[in-house]
A and B are shown apart, each in its own frame.
Chain A
Amino acid sequence: MKQYGNPDTLAAAPGQVLYEKDAQSGVAWITLNRPEKHNAMTVPMRARLSQLVKDAEQDNDVAVIVLRGNGKSFCSGNQIDEDWGHRPGGQKRMTLTTASRYSTEMMWGRHSFTQVVSRCTKIVMLQLHGYCAAAAYFTLATRCDIVLVSEDAKIGALEGRFLGPASTVAGIHINRILGTKAARRVGYTAEPISGDEAYALGLAHLCMPVSELAAATDALAREIAARPRPLLRYLKARVLSGEAVFDTSVPTITGLLYSHFLQTAPDEKNFWATVKSSGVAGALSDDKARRTAAVNQLKEKSS
């Protein structure tokens, strides 16, 4: 299969997504290692993550896979403005063919990194701290079997503020994990939920101070991996089958990642244009300023 990316991102990926395993305990760790960018993910990084999960799935030494990230956050989102071969003909905007490749093969569909995690026959745990607040990684978090969070985690899809909710409301599994109200809230307000909230809603199995998270995840991974392997195989198979029956296993629609095709109205801010001129941080603070202004205007009106 063709490897997408550019020479730099392809070369960097192995050092940005690390793999270790402990055959004794049966635990493997996949660690995002791009802390200077809060683990922003490139196409090759996601491809590598997928491959590592698939390899661990085939490895008899491994019973439990732990996903985690170095640095302050698990993952801040996709690398903005990444060149990965998405304009093969030099087109001005993304074609539907490219969008379906990106969406179906890479992000949400059966061969995507989120589905590789979701359908994995080994148990996948997530060690989530800091930000996990972009749609793709919120979705990834909801595809892992057991999620441990830090109290200060921020989970959701912040880009929903300016790009629209990007399927964070529409995922059936999200609705079945959070309950329908919280799923709507996360999607439409684009406000992140805290680790405590994630625990209260049932997304997270455990919540604790960030200083305790790594040790607790480690201990739980070893505890589960110590269960008899045939039993773990059977239990994960039961969960996969139950999800198939319950219809949470595949996304509702795996066609287009539509945000690239959205059109801003004249009174709306074009996020991508703002990123080009002011960078991501500039665009985020611009958006925050607009929101604050809107709320202040409302307060003035009512007083």
Chain B
Amino acid sequence: MSTTIHCYADSQSHVGHIVIRRPENRNAFTAEMVTAVGEALVGFGQNDDVKVVVIRPEGADLTTGLDAADAERIYQEAPGGAVRKVPSQRARALAQSSLWWGPSGLYNRVLHCPKITILQARGRCLDIGLNLSLCCDLVIADESALFGQPRWQHVGVDGDVTALIAAVGLKRANEMMFCVPEWDAKTAVDYGLIDKVVPPNELEDAVMTLATLCGQVMRDGIVTEKHYVFASLAKMQIGTGMAIAAVMGGYGTNLHFRAGEFNFLREARANGVKAALARGRHHFGSGQ
């Protein structure tokens, strides 16, 4: 297991911890980190002493999302990804599925974890951070938290939206898709994206108290109920949304940019995703 994802279980409190530890990069995830978190969740799922899993960051931010360097690499390394100059659609769908939405993808693994999952959120909770908020059972944030998917305004929607709609309602989901890239903590709790907002110095306590209380519930009760929930999630079509996301997610890099449009992909290839996002903020103007 990498040091950027640190996991341990406390059998007394019955809590499994997954700590994101790359604060110098605002906890941007490499593909390896994504896989590590998924595997940790599977491991905790099999650990009879763990009833609750807490996912939390070190540093000021939960995460800014997938590391720029890996965004292109994961396509190239997928089957059919390096046959031609540009990664094929099959490579993209396979990568999307493998990393995020398919049976062993991160979001699927969070959503289908047979233990109670709690997310501790602060600072930037973007991209992966937003999806973790949707897929974890419970989310407590501090006042600094910002939730969003900055990529969407540049390349359109490329993930599951059924879970977003189910959490916040359709109009608000559309807002994030088309004109408001980030929600602050107060908006997020008002809209129903997260459960609670606390002052920064109370965040850790609030999360651990919640985890401890949830950990008092009997093992049979938690795991059995979780499996009923999995059936319900499928019935709510959240699984369908994920399947759509896996195949549609790969089309984003086919985008044609018209004159006057900010060519995010060209900027990203030339100067890196970070610089492209910075330039993009300028293009879209500050704030909402």
A268→B219 contact, CB < 8 A? yes
Pairwise interchain contact B224-A247, C-beta atoms closer than 8 A: no
Are A170 and B192 in contact (CB-based, < 8 A)?
no
Stretch among B27-35, B56-64, B204-212 lining the A interface: B204-212
**Complex: how many Å from CA A293 to CA B193?**
31
Q: Which of B182-217 contact A (CB under 8 A)?
A: 192-195, 204-205, 208-210, 212-217
- Choose from B194, B208, B209, B221 the contact partner of A181 (Cβ within 8 Å): B194
Within 8 A of A (CB), among B62-116: 116
CB distance from A48 to the nearest CB of B (A): 29
Q: Across the interface, which residues of A come within 8 angstroms of B215, CB to CB?
A: 294
Main secondary structure of the interface of B (DSSP, over half): helix
How far, in whole Å, are A165 and B219 apart by their CA atoms in the complex? 11
Q: Return B211 CB to nearest CB of chain A, in Å.
A: 9
Residue-wise interface mask of A (151-180) relative to B, using a CB-CB cutoff of 8 A (1 in contact, 0 not): 000000000111111110111100110011
**Is the CB of B277 closer than 8 A to any CB of chain A?**
no
B166 contact set on A, CB distance < 8 A: 175-176, 179-180
A163 touches B232 (CB 8 A): no
Contact partner, A163, options B48, B138, B221, Cβ 8 Å: B221
Q: Are B228 and A252 in contact, with the CB atoms below 8 A?
A: yes
Q: Which applies to chain A's interface (DSSP): helix, strand, loop or mixed?
A: helix
* Interface residue tally for chain A (C-beta within 8 Å): 43
User: Roughly how many angstroms separate A268 CA and B223 CA in the complex, as a whole number?
Assistant: 15
Q: Is the CB of A234 closer than 8 A to any CB of chain B?
A: no
- State in angstroms the CA–CA spacing of A286 and B193 once bound together: 34
Neighbouring A residues of B175 by C-beta, 8 Å: none
Q: Which of A6-14, A16-24, A259-267 contacts B (4 or more CB under 8 A)?
A: A259-267
A37 CB-CB contact with B under 8 Å:
no
Is B220 close to A, CB under 8 A? Answer: yes
Among B166, B222, B228, the one with the most A-chain Cβ atoms within 10 Å of its Cβ is B228
When the two chains form their complex, are residues A179 and B220 in contact, meaning their CB atoms are under 8 A apart?
Answer: no
Rounded to whole Å, the gap between the CB of B89 and the closest CB of chain A is 31
A245 to chain B, nearest CB (A): 12
Q: Is the CB of B221 within 8 A of A164?
A: yes
Q: A162-B218, A298-B208 are in contact. Are A170 and B213 (CB under 8 A)?
A: no
B13 at the interface (CB under 8 A from A): yes
A sample of 6 inter-chain contacts (CB < 8 A) reads A167-B228, A179-B168, A180-B192, A187-B225, A253-B228, A294-B215
Q: A171-B232, A298-B13 are in contact. List 8 more A-B contacts (CB 8 A).
A: A164-B224, A170-B229, A170-B231, A170-B232, A189-B138, A264-B218, A265-B218, A297-B12
Q: Which residues of B contact A (CB under 8 A)?
A: 12-13, 48, 116, 134, 137-139, 163, 166-169, 192-195, 204-205, 208-210, 212-222, 224-225, 228-229, 231-232, 235-236
Nearest 8 A/B pairs, CB to CB:
A164-B221, A170-B228, A262-B220, A179-B192, A165-B225, A184-B137, A170-B232, A252-B232
